[in-house]
Amino acid sequence: MSSSVIRQLKGRAVPVRGNDIDTDRIIPARFMKTVSFDSLGQHVFHDVRRDPQGKPTGHPFDDPRHAGAVILLANRNFGCGSSREHAPQALAAWGIRAVVAESFAEIFAGNCTAIGIPAVEVEAADAEALLRLAETRPETDLDLDLEALRLQAGGKSYPVRMPEARRKVFLIGSWDTMGLLLEGRSEIAAVAARLPYLAEFPYPRG
């Protein structure tokens, strides 16, 4: 079994209310001038976490009750706007490991999948119930089960949905393309050893 298999995820949630939250709101473009994604977490939702004078606005990502949350809760059409992969990367750098919303922009959901973040959808009424739960009982753990397509929280169970092809890559671990590549190092080295035009390159042989 691949070490990248993701079947279940459990942890506290951070609620981010609002429809059509776009990728520029998630990570403003001016913070994308970096050679790695590691520093993006500190800038996630930057322009709505501070007012024009730089004072905190009370955004959920600054609420100490949600520190350490691993699941982001949202409303409709989350991640719309540009196709920037920096948006899910910024969320991941902050600590988010799954996103639950009424719906997603397709490219955003695909970019989430590429880095191992399940983006699952729930009905509007269930999204509201989960948002309210995270706001009033932030210590509550949510248990997301991709095999059963269920999310359990606060003693209740909520159905979730995601495209079957996307769900499958989490269940078998094939979302992690770099991991799959590294698992085949020996086969890659064997092929490289047979190619005369690679003989001059310092390729790791094994």
In the predicted structure, residue 1 carries a pLDDT above the cut 50:
no
**Quick one: fold of 8-172?**
Aconitase; domain 4 (3.20.19)
Q: Which of 29-43, 74-88, 127-141, 173-187 has the lowest mean pLDDT?
A: 173-187
Instruction: Give the residue-averaged pLDDT of 83-107.
Output: 96
Rounded CA-CA distance 117/172 in Å is: 14
Supply the mean pLDDT for the chain: 91
Q: Which residue has the higher pLDDT, 3 or 57?
A: 57
Q: Do 48 and 77 meet the contact criterion of CB atoms below 8 Å apart?
A: no
pLDDT tens digits, one per residue of 103-129: 999 999 999 999 999 999 999 999 999
Could you give the count of Cα atoms lying within 13 Å of 18 in the half-sphere of its Cβ?
A: 12
Could you give the count of Cα atoms lying within 13 Å of 114 in the half-sphere of its Cβ?
A: 12
Neighbour-count burial of 139, counting CB atoms closer than 10 A to its CB (0-12 exposed, 13-18 middle, 19+ buried):
exposed
Rounded CA-CA distance 101/118 in Å is: 11
For the chain, give every domain's residue range. 8-172, 176-206
Q: What is residue 158's predicted lDDT score, i.e. its pLDDT? A: 98
Question: What is the residue type of 166?
Answer: R
